[in-house]
Amino acid sequence: MPTEPDTSEEKKHLLAGTVMSGADIVVQVLADENVDTIFGYSGGAILPTYDAVFRFNDRHRLPDGRSPMSLIVPANEQGAGFMAAGYARASGEVGVVMVTSGPGATNTVTPVRDCMADSVPIVVICGQVPTKAIGTDAFQEAPVSAIMGAVAKHVFLVTDPNRLEATMRSAFEIARTGRPGPVVIDVPKDIQNWEGEFTGAGSLPLNGYRARLQSVLDNRLNDDACERLYKMLSESERPLIYAGGGVINGNATKPMRRFADAYGIPVATTLMALGASDTKHPLSLHMLGMHGTAFANYAVEDCDFLITIGARFDDRVAGDPVNFAPNAKNIAHFDVDVSEIGKVKNVDWHHIGVLSRDLEDLLNFGKRIDFKKDFSTWHAEIGELKSKHRMNYDRDSDLIQPYAVIEEINRITRGEAIISTGVGQHQMWAAQYFDFREPRLWLTSGSMGTMGFGLPAAIGAQFAHRDRLVIDIDGDGSMRMNIGELETATTYGLPVKVVVFNNFGDGMVRQWQKLFYQGRMSGSDKSLHSKDFVKTAEADGFKFARRLDKKEDLQSVVDEFVNFSGPAFLEVIIDPDAGVYPMVGPGLSYSKMITGDYIVGRDNPDDEAPGPSQMF
């Protein structure tokens, strides 16, 4: 989000005027940005900066002997990128990645795109071949600017050493301001070895970027706009807040909750906004969308005024935009990014600004005019929806149901643990059945849907919050993607808890293949069934590594697993036919929602199941 400019007189940096190498300048700017953890893998083109980190830590060692800037080495660079993303998502601070040139840089492409898609701030520092060698197909050279330019918020190639310091500071500014995102800095080896004066201040001009940010900052919510929104609220009988990830990214959770509580407005969140509303609150509808709760989706169907905050009407929420919130007489939209207004769904009222400030201003206006409206009838309807269409599954099955495992973990953690996931069925089960009392407790790859995200993201979150319980809920397919990071967890003594739901295949794909392809498991069975996950975890140093395959052991094993004092690994052999419901097929409205055998749905004679061409 935009920040108010610092009008105080800037103090001169203690090291201003000191001659440093480019590598030392990079590290000093990281220190000035309060970076305490770097995730990365070394290599020839980044060695000068890695050495600078070592020397910085040696000079500034903390009283307890710890390094002030921990350098965390994962199994590969993709893991480093997702660790930085987990750190950023859990802390709200900028995550930092440092990798070498060529394959080191290209291995971070997926995490960079993942962060761009979910608006996560990270800075990736890539080593590059010497300036004169760029374009010669030198050893471990890759066109980072060309590759990353398509997937990052911004990319810098530093060719003038005198601009290195300003570039570093500007990268952090761009990553964290406005709509957050990943910034990549490509630093040739000769620039790292160059020596020059450290100024201790300054950044790149970025005039256009800062002007756009300032226009958002200056765009205060005026009384006329507030009056129009409250008029729509006064005419409403069934208002609903649709909250997106922007609420969390914009640190607007508290003002949004205050606004919702002041007038008794129910809240449904997207996958990326879980925790923006306390899921245990009576008016929380948990998650809406393709695999959202049935009661949340029905509430969207029923509402007559939709207040959209930091959300973008994406295809997993508004698959059929025309028929999304079909009974809403008015739709309002708060956002920080003007490009989202009207991109998918036309709205009747919108405001581009700083979400936290705008919601406070809106609430203060309501207090000034003493706005009151009784929504008790709507509250009763919400209560009935939550009761009648509650989440449910086959509780009498002899097989272990994944939902039951999550419910048991949730009973112990009470919605206060940090939950990370891979991508697939387990991701949706975790989203549906866990409670989230606060923001930044839910870490998942939303827009990109990147398998292999869960374990490294959990590791990054554990570095951000060393005293919190961090649990990775994963699947056998996603776990294989970055299984090497199990060793990272034990190497650094992290008490991360890892659950692998094993249904011996790609469950989400197989669910569709069973429904619409007559059970032809093309590419989703893979015959990769010989992996002994427990032995793998043991080999990587997990002292607690268990397999849960008997339903009667569920409660005792889960309790022991969660309460184990160090890193713990639990493989759960689940019902291979366990599905993800509710399910709204791509391109379909919520009226076509499939609720499965155990969740009560609304009778609709026009129900139309999605066809095979609508799989994803």
The rounded distance, in Å, linking the Cα atoms of 565 and 612 is 46
Asked if residue 72 lies in contact with residue 492, where contact means CB atoms within 8 angstroms, the answer is yes
Tokens of 339: 């490009």
The rounded distance, in Å, linking the Cα atoms of 247 and 321 is 22
The rounded distance, in Å, linking the Cα atoms of 246 and 413 is 26
Say which of 256, 391, 451, 508 is annotated catalytic.
Answer: 508
- Helices assigned H by DSSP within 465-504: 476-481, 485-491
The rounded distance, in Å, linking the Cα atoms of 294 and 323 is 16
Burial 362-389 (b: 16+ CB within 10 A, else e): bbebbeeeeeeeebeebeebbeebbeeb
| Plot region of 220 (φ>0 → left; ψ -120 to 50 → alpha; else → beta) | beta
Q: Is 472 helix (H, G, I), strand (E, B) or coil?
A: strand
Say which of 20, 28, 33, 77 is annotated catalytic.
Answer: 77
In the annotation, is 381 catalytic? no
Say which of 139, 416, 535, 608 is annotated catalytic.
Answer: 139
Q: Is 329 helix (H, G, I), strand (E, B) or coil?
A: coil
In the annotation, is 290 catalytic? no
Task: Name the strands in the sheet holding 284-287, side by side, starting at the edge strand that comes first in the sequence.
Answer: 284-287, 267-269, 239-243, 305-309, 330-335, 349-352
In the annotation, is 497 catalytic? no
Half-sphere exposure of 365 (CA within 13 A, CB side): 18
- Helices assigned H by DSSP within 219-302: 223-234, 245-249, 253-263, 294-302
* Cα radius of gyration rounded to whole Å, the chain: 25
Q: What are phi and psi of 40, to 5 degrees?
A: 180, 175
How does DSSP assign 365-391, residue by residue? HHHHTT-----HHHHHHHHHHHHHT--
| DSSP single-letter state for residue 416 | -
The CA–CA distances, whole Å, from 211 to 217, 548, 566 equal 10, 56, 49
Of how many residues is the chain composed? 616
In the annotation, is 372 catalytic? no
Asked if residue 219 lies in contact with residue 244, where contact means CB atoms within 8 angstroms, the answer is no
Asked if residue 118 lies in contact with residue 445, where contact means CB atoms within 8 angstroms, the answer is yes
Which residues partner with 499 through β-bridges? 473, 570
Q: What are phi and psi of 345, to 5 degrees?
A: -130, 130
Say which of 153, 189, 497, 592 is annotated catalytic.
Answer: 189
Q: What are phi and psi of 204, to 5 degrees?
A: -70, 155
In the annotation, is 508 catalytic? yes
Catalytic residues: 77, 139-140, 189, 508
